[in-house]
């Protein structure tokens, strides 16, 4: 598992890299705010690896996991579980949604709906 900065993740997205972006928080937190085009698969989901496969990923797919902030360990825990399930191109965006929003990068969800669904550029 490799750790990404927000700038590295933003560059991946801007380049259109083939990456599965997964928010591992609970559905309520995901509904509040998430990075556009990300999927919600909670780290606590017993079938985490199966859910990731259902989203079209294989063990060789690039998967980026994120949670709420630098203090949150959910993305680390999810990455460890996926490594044990055989996934080998895993990335963790340690800053999470809070770091992403602090940069003014685009966000979707209830927390930003008053801003027409996105904040920043």
pLDDT confidence of residue 38: 96
C-alpha span between 94 and 107 (Å, rounded): 17
pLDDT, mean of residues 83-92: 95
Structure letter (DSSP) for residue 87: -
Contacts of 118 (CB under 8 A, 6+ apart): 36, 106, 107, 108, 112
Encode pLDDT of 5-52 as tens digits.
999 999 999 999 999 999 999 999 999 999 999 999 999 999 999 999
pLDDT confidence of residue 121: 38
Among residues of the chain, what percentage have pLDDT more than 90? 88
Among residues of the chain, what percentage have pLDDT more than 70? 93
Domains of the chain, each with CATH number or no CATH: 2-115 (3.40.250.10)
């Amino acid at each position: 598992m490799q750790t990404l900065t927000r700038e590295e993740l933003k560059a991946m997205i801007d380049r259109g890299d083939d990456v599965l972006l997964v928010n591992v928080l609970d559905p309520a937190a995901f509904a509040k705010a998430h990075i556009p085009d990300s999927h919600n698969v909670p780290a606590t989901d017993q079938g985490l690896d199966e859910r990731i496969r259902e989203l079209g990923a294989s063990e060789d797919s690039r998967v980026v996991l994120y949670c709420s902030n630098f203090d949150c360990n959910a993305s680390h825990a999810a990455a460890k579980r996926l490594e044990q399930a055989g996934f080998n191109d895993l990335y963790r965006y340690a800053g999470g949604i809070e770091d992403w929003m602090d940069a003014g990068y685009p966000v979707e969800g209830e927390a930003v709906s008053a801003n027409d669904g996105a904040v920043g550029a």
